[in-house]
Amino acid sequence: MAPILKPDICVIGAGSGGLTTAAAAAAFGVKVVLVERGKMGGDCLNYGCVPSKALIAAGKHVAAIREAKRFGISVGEPQVDFSAVKDHVRGVIDAIAPNDSVERFESLGVTVVKSHAEFVDEKTVSAAGQIVQARRYVIAAGSSPFVPPIDGLKETPFFTNETIFDLRERPDHLVVIGGGPIGLELAQAHRRLGSKVTVVEAGTFLGRDDPELAAVVLDRLREEGVSLRKGAKVVAVRKGEAGPSITIETGGGREEIAASHLLVAVGRAPNVEGLGLKAASIDYDAKGIKVRPDLRTTNRRVYAVGDIAGGPQFTHVANYQAGLVLRPILFRLPVKERRDHLPHVTFTDPELGQIGATEAEAKASGALKDVLRWPYAENDRAQAERHTDGLVKLVLGKGGRIIGAGVVGLAAGEMTNMLSLAVGKNMAVSDLRDFISPYPTLSEIGKRAATVYYRPYTEKAFVRRAVRLLARLG
């Protein structure tokens, strides 16, 4: 019988949240066991953030070549070697993989067990025939692509974000089911790389984002030739000789769309099955493991972070939560997760970043006092780059506090960092006004949006009288 492992912490899942937890704990000299049944690095490295951004980068280069004539540069139509593009994607994954590898984590002092983990009781996990009895557990088992119960889908070949990057030949016509960030990012990338692309969405495209900002992204996708079918419910899928076809239902009736390849991108489901959660007295539902504000489960020994914890499914959220749970586990410090300042970015072109409350959310809650905007077209750097579509939007609460922000346009993801700090630190609009931005940069747009707050004061009679009076005083 294998010896019983008795670490201080057992981490289940080697995605972003699990790796962050394990590495940080090991840095303090704590004994850590890390259990992973699949690939080290999890979804982000192997199927999500990394490969999708590598594919998007390839698409951006194609778009840049096509737009070169606007800068006085003459080039021909770009020639895309789709197989070579996928080699580029694989190369990016391979370059990052050593940071997440078994070898690296073992060098940090972490015991890595490559196996499925399952709780056998409230205090014990079984993995690869070994028994683990840790003082505390952190479940970071992630999520998997959700496959909706559409008639005929199981009998029809289709891709998810976990399989689309293995496709070596360029799709003639890629049909995407799902109009969220994943669906639209991959749709635009494939369109730029030469595929015909249709995206169908039963509800609203980019439904979690401010509609005013989302419209800028959707307009660009339509200009580039992506067909966007809003309010189109997929009622059936079938396998044809030339490829799959879907039947959609809209206000105008039913319609069939033929495709060469089908991508299902309608969200993700937490990996709660097979973990023995009931044996461990851990409550969960279809949304994930139920956690308290300190991310502790109904089993006081066990915490959950990342996609499986039922919150926003982003790599940076998993990392944030991993940092939180280490405080009570290692130092007995109280923590409370905040979700009112979590940023997210859709990496289309233009990018779209959102932090905190949208205008509609702030209005619904009664917190909205003002909304400030400044367009990219009024920014000198945006003009020089010839990317003038977009705007920064600040949502203000009482006392000019920035309770939400959004930005759509060139490098919006990078600009989201500053706005995330402003929302997270409860800054006032005056803090952005006084921020000194180097010229010429896109971040000036956020500063200019802040100055709009003071524009009405320039028209007030008493302010103008005060200025005239002070001028007379010399």
Binding residues for NAD(+): 178-185, 201, 267
Annotated binding site: 53, 178-185, 201, 267, 307
Give the contacts of 297 (CB within 8 A, at least 6 positions apart): 139, 282, 283, 289, 290, 291, 303, 304
Helix (H) or strand (E) holding 220: helix 211-223
Q: What's the token pair of residue 198?
A: 């249709």
Spatial separation of the C-alpha atoms in residues 31 and 25, rounded to whole Å:
8
- Amino acid residing at 298: T
Q: Is 284 helix (H, G, I), strand (E, B) or coil?
A: strand
Looking at the chain, the number of H-run helices and the number of E-run strands are: 14, 24
Phi first, then psi, for residue 211 (nearest 5°) are -60, -35
CA distances, 244 to each of 70, 156, 258, 263 (Å): 39, 7, 6, 10
Burial, 82: exposed, middle or buried (Cβ in 10 Å; 0-12, 13-18, 19+)? middle
> 178: alpha, beta or left, given left = phi > 0 and alpha = psi -120 to 50?
left
Phi first, then psi, for residue 312 (nearest 5°) are -60, 135
Q: In 10 A of CB 88, how many CB atoms?
A: 15
Q: What's the token pair of residue 458?
A: 């320039």
H helices present in 259-379, as ranges: 315-331, 359-365
Annotated binding site for FAD: 53, 307
Burial, 302: exposed, middle or buried (Cβ in 10 Å; 0-12, 13-18, 19+)? buried
Give the contacts of 404 (CB within 8 A, at least 6 positions apart): 354, 355, 356, 357, 358, 359, 361, 362, 394, 395, 423
Q: In 10 A of CB 383, how many CB atoms?
A: 13
